[in-house]
Amino acid sequence: MNDLQPQTLVIIPLLAVLAPLLARGMGRWVRVPVVVFELVLGILIGPAVLGWVGDSAFIELMADFGLATLFFVAGTEIEFGAFRGRLGRRASLGWLLSLGAGVLSVVILTPWEAAVVIGIALSSTALGTLLPVLRDAGELKTPFGQAVGAVGALGEFGPLIAISLFLGSRDIGLSTLVLLLFMLISGLAIWLAFRIPHGAMHKAVSATLHTSGQFAIRVILLILGGLVAVSVLLELDFLLGAFTAGIVWRLIMRDADEADREAVESKVEAVAFGFLVPIFFIYTGVTFDLQALLADPILFLGLPIVLVALFVIRGLPSMLASPVGASGRERLAMAFMGATGLPIIVAVTSIGLDEDILTTVQAALLVGGGMLSVLLFPLIAMRLRGERAARVAPTMDDMA
């Protein structure tokens, strides 16, 4: 912690408090996701503007924990029934089209490895970022919200698989074998989730919900840490383990009493969105290489190009998963939601920089475009949808 500036311990929590207040204040006129303010405030206090907070190994570690919990929560929100039938087929096809289009759009201009990195980045969807937006708007259980969930799940899980296959230090054959080994271990964890005595598990969860035991949270940390550790040991992206951990926990709690399940979810969301996730987004703003863009102002012209590329390459194919009978406004809203990307873009560009595949300018443009997508696309999408009250979730038969 020698590189940790003391003021950082106050400034980042202060910004985490200010961000939802600003979002709430702006909500009188327009709904802006809280992550927008976290990113902008992070840039403001970072080296590029005020210089109050700089790089810190400790804060970076906390930000990684935040990113892991974000993907864990995304895994817990997966509706497996949504992947059956029409919605699953169309969401899968949309992501494959996005990946192919993303690689082909730049392969002529850049080396193959860089084209793969950029293609993966452009094919991503920030499900973890969209979930709070959908939740706050009462859209999680609507046909539109479930379609966004399916598109987002493919837009996060698909790129993680692609990262594991194409961006490791191994050849693709060995990478495939390692990925299959991880899938085998994950399958074992899922099998255990089905086989453990849920009655005893749920009783332990219920009995410690309001005590210092907090059995559920401790089990979650064990599952999350275990699968992340497996990912790291296999030299896969740790987010793959975090996402899978969320799926495992959802399966463990599938038959629990609804009140207990909601209580646990509330505690997880408090730790994630109240503590760790804001650190990730604020620190992403702090470490954003604005100076690389300021050094050559003409590079700012590249940001709108990346933003348009996200909309065309990821957004338009996402419209395939629009609910049956969706209006033109709903389909356009689906495109904007599907094109919202940041966490995967940050992760994949970090790998690209570490492996000397991307330049700092390319990484800054991609991350900057991702930040703009988070700033603008959910806002535009929800304006197209209009204000929505929470409603009863449709049956999966309605989604088929």
pLDDT in tens, 349-385: 877 887 788 888 888 889 889 888 988 898 899 888 8
Indicate the class that CATH gives domain 8-399: mainly alpha
Average pLDDT score over the chain:
83
| Percent of the chain scoring above 70 in pLDDT | 92
- Mean pLDDT of the 110-121 span: 88
- Mean pLDDT of the 122-151 span: 84
**Residue 393 pLDDT more than 50?**
no
| Span of 118-122, 135-139, 234-238 with lowest mean pLDDT | 135-139
SS3 6: coil
CA atoms lying within 13 Å on the CB side of residue 231? 23
**Token pair belonging to 88:** 């699953």
Residues whose CB is less than 8 angstroms from the CB of residue 256 and which lie 6 or more positions away in sequence, other chains included:
198, 202, 205, 264
211: phi then psi, degrees, rounded to nearest 5: -125, 175
- Mean pLDDT of the 4-12 span: 83
pTM of the model: 0.80
* More confidently predicted of 252 and 397: 252
* More confidently predicted of 186 and 79: 186
| Span of 78-82, 235-239, 301-305 with lowest mean pLDDT | 78-82
**Residue 137 pLDDT more than 50?**
yes
Q: ∠135-205-227 over CA atoms, to 5°?
A: 70
- How far is residue 15's CA from residue 54's CA, in Å, rounded to a whole number? 15
DSSP class of residue 269? H
Kindly indicate the confidence band of residue 171, based on its pLDDT and cuts at 50, 70 and 90.
low
Give the model confidence (pLDDT) of 28-51 as tens digits. Answer: 776 677 887 888 899 999 888 888
**Residue 309 pLDDT more than 60?**
yes
Give me the pLDDT at residue 395, please: 38
Residue 370's identity, in one-letter code, is G
